[in-house]
Amino acid sequence: MTGTIFDISHYMLEDGPGIRTNVFVKGCPLRCKWCSNAYGLEKRIQLSYKAQKCAGCGKCISVCPENAIAWNDEKHIVVQNFKKCKQCLKCVQICNFQARSQIGIEKTVEEVIKAVLDDRMFYRRSGGGVTLSGGEILGQADFVGEILKKCVYYGIHTAIETSGYGKWEDLKRILGYTKLVFLDCKCMNREKHKALTGVGNEIILENIVKTAQWCEKHGKQLIIRLPLIPTLNDDDINVRDTAKFVKELRGKPLLNVLPYHNFGASKYETIGKRYPTEDLQPQESEDMQRIKKIFEEVGVRFSVGGYNI
């Protein structure tokens, strides 16, 4: 069985306990305006062009069959027309300066597991393991499920990150091979959720409730994550409604708040896209104090930040 991934990150210290290997699958049905993983949005393999690494040799111009690459005399740089590009990646093969690269690769389950097992000694000593993320793992549920199944066979701690937007049958099957679940709850208002992510939240909220019930029954750890985006979902109403919703879930899961950052903005430019929230600034300390006060008033268990969880 094969799937499409865009990264395997080693020696990670977040998204689960200990030292971890994070496997990122490609493709996501959501289009969150603040998404920091632009490379995971589309399932197809893509071209990335980093202009700052380009030496201006012009070799890529001569091999492009779509005339999607040109020399700009005014700026003295090579420019990429992503609208014309058909992603043949001939320019990647000829570039000697790593200005052009392939985003995404098809891997078998066995190939992913081999990369995971190379880090096994670090899991034993730190209590770490493997985290499957994306993109959206439910978009490649069979592939992800087989990876997790193999990890369980080898005695490796497993965790997943998911938006919860997918079939419950797929999520339930994946949960059977997972010890720690990170599940996003981005916005409680249905219309606003659709405006911010491109999809409604009915399926997501239903899957959160079912996952909480399943995790309590099977003794698995569930953490609900709230990515907190200035002016978009950090208003008092959404913060309070989210806290109330999480507090009432079975098993009393932790609500983990992820303050906004724009660390992934540069990735958008390399694939010819604009980062939708590039003008937003992270929350000020007083904003975080306001939000913490609401959580304390509601009485929900919460934490801030993604490290050491």
Query: What distance in Å separates the CA atoms of residue 251 and residue 210, rounded to the nearest whole number?
Result: 11
What integer pLDDT is reported at residue 259 of this predicted model?
A: 94
With contact defined as beta carbons under 8 Å apart, do 238 and 229 qualify?
no
Domain assignments of the chain as residue spans, ordered by start: 2-43+106-304, 46-103
DSSP 191-212: HHHHHHHSS-SHHHHHHHHHHH
DSSP β-ladder status, 254-259 and 221-228: parallel
Instruction: Compute, in degrees rounded to 10, the torsion defined by CA atoms 259, 275, 13, 181.
Output: 70
Taking the C-alpha atoms of residue 96 and residue 93, their distance in angstroms, rounded to an integer, is 8
Give Cα separations from 11 to 19, 128, 261 (angstroms).
5, 9, 22
- The yes-or-no answer to whether 2-43+106-304 and 46-103 have a common fold is no
CATH number of 46-103: 3.30.70.20
Cβ-contact 180, 157 below 8 angstroms: yes
User: Could you say which of 3.30.70.930, 3.20.20.70, 3.40.50.10420, 3.40.50.2300 is the CATH number of the domain covering 2-43+106-304?
Assistant: 3.20.20.70
- pLDDT computed for residue 210 by the predictor: 98
3-state secondary structure (DSSP) of residue 71 = strand
- pLDDT tens sequence for the chain (309 residues): 999 999 999 999 989 999 999 999 999 999 999 999 999 999 999 999 999 999 999 999 999 999 999 999 988 899 999 999 999 999 999 999 999 999 999 999 999 999 999 999 999 999 999 999 999 999 999 999 999 999 999 999 999 999 999 999 999 999 999 999 999 999 999 999 999 999 999 999 999 999 999 999 999 999 999 999 999 999 999 999 999 999 999 999 999 999 999 888 999 999 999 999 988 998 889 999 999 999 999 999 999 986 555
